[in-house]
Amino acid sequence: MRGWKEHLRIVWAIAAKDVGEGIRNKTILGNIVAMVFLVLFYRFAPVLEGDDLPRLIVYDQGHSRLVIEMENSDQFKFYELSSLDRVELFVGEASEVRLGLVLPDGFDQALADGQPPVLDGYVAHWASRSEAAEIQAFFEGQLAELSGQAVRINMENVVYHQVGWGGFSFLTALGGVVTLVLMGTTVTHLMLEEKQAKTIDALMVSPASAGQIVMGKAVAGLVYCLTASSMVFVFNAVVVVNWGLLALATICGALFTVALGLLMGSLFETRQQMTMWGFVLISVLLLPVFMVIMGDILPDVVAVNLRWFPTVALSRVMQMSFSDSAPLGQVVTNLATVLVGAVLILMGVVWKTRQSDR
């Protein structure tokens, strides 16, 4: 019992020192500021686009003449797609609130009869009630103007993000992964600083063992990772459907990136090495996450195998937490991929630490 208390005291002392000292570290602060800038940029990028015309995405089942009127409207942007799935994709991937609409077969006849049906409208799940009501009212008005009759839109169809889609939810997941990777490198900075200032020597003659030093750094790294990623998700809370799953994914992701930070910290001796190899490593980790949304143009063998990349798996679970469906099998497989990655890297850290431990 006393042993465990002492163990925890030492690990916590190192972690608390690193967290406190890290806040005063320009490199770490720079990482945090860059991350906040990144989050704010993609969160508010749609606002900066300047084009605020509402978007209408239509699947016309019966070749309605109204489509031509819609195409010619200068009050909104119109897109006609060939299936409901495509409409959902177009609505779900958007960074701004769009309305998906299905014009049923026989719609023109119903209009001619003076009994237009209630149209099925589709809106992204993250749109607020007021945003949905606003776009509903706008397009009911436009349709009434174009058709000369009152047309009602049913707004109960909500489009949830699906893994593999791009757009707002994907960017949020990407932001989460980027944040975790960036914050994971904080651990490398912490370890490099100890080596360069030779304070590691003082730690090594203190009651702290090599394992406790590594654990202390890992806890500090986890604090940074979890704090920063929490900021990302709080900024983008509207997309989150399953907070529990997101928290689980974030913790597993943080373990992975912190393990990676520890490995780099144990391998690198200079800041130059860290800068050069860190850049390569971050690129290798993040590139596949971008590549998966280009699945259509990737060879099948690449697209399938990318799923086993820990950052891709992490991004997939995060995206599942933005969706209404998170199949248990897929969640477990993806989380296991991330955790296996973390364990393999931690084994490398333990091996390296034991090697350098005298």
The reply to whether 1 sits near other proteins by the rule CB under 8 A is: no
- Please name the residue that has the structure tokens 């209630």: 118
Angle made by CA atoms 220, 225, 230, in degrees to the nearest 5: 130
CA 154 to CA 152: how far, in whole Å?
Answer: 7
User: In this chain, which of 6, 71, 85, 269 binds other proteins, going by CB under 8 A?
Assistant: 6
User: In this chain, which of 14, 183, 214, 318 binds other proteins, going by CB under 8 A?
Assistant: 14
Grouping H, G, I as helix, E, B as strand and the rest as coil, residue 62 is: coil
CA 295 to CA 299: how far, in whole Å?
Answer: 8
Task: Point out which span in 12-20, 29-37, 119-127, 325-333 binds other proteins (CB under 8 A).
Answer: 12-20
Q: State in angstroms the smallest separation of the CB of 204 from other proteins.
A: 5
Using the minimum distance from each CB to other proteins, give the nearer residue, 6 or 324.
Answer: 6
Biggest alpha carbon distance in the chain? 90
Cβ atoms of 314 and 249 closer than 8 Å: yes
- 179-238 residues near other proteins, rule: CB under 8 A: 197-199, 201-209
Q: State in angstroms the smallest separation of the CB of 16 from other proteins.
A: 8
Using the minimum distance from each CB to other proteins, give the nearer residue, 13 or 267.
Answer: 13
CA 150 to CA 346: how far, in whole Å?
Answer: 64
Cβ atoms of 158 and 123 closer than 8 Å: yes
Tokens of 71: 């195409």
Using the minimum distance from each CB to other proteins, give the nearer residue, 166 or 216.
Answer: 216
User: In this chain, which of 1, 4, 24, 300 binds other proteins, going by CB under 8 A?
Assistant: 24
Q: State in angstroms the smallest separation of the CB of 202 from other proteins.
A: 5
122 has which bridge partners?
A: 100, 157
The reply to whether 17 sits near other proteins by the rule CB under 8 A is: yes
Q: Closest Cα partner for 162 from 151, 153, 152, 173?
A: 173
Using the minimum distance from each CB to other proteins, give the nearer residue, 129 or 358.
Answer: 358
Footprint of other proteins (CB under 8 A): 6, 9-10, 12-14, 16-17, 20-21, 24-25, 197-199, 201-209, 358
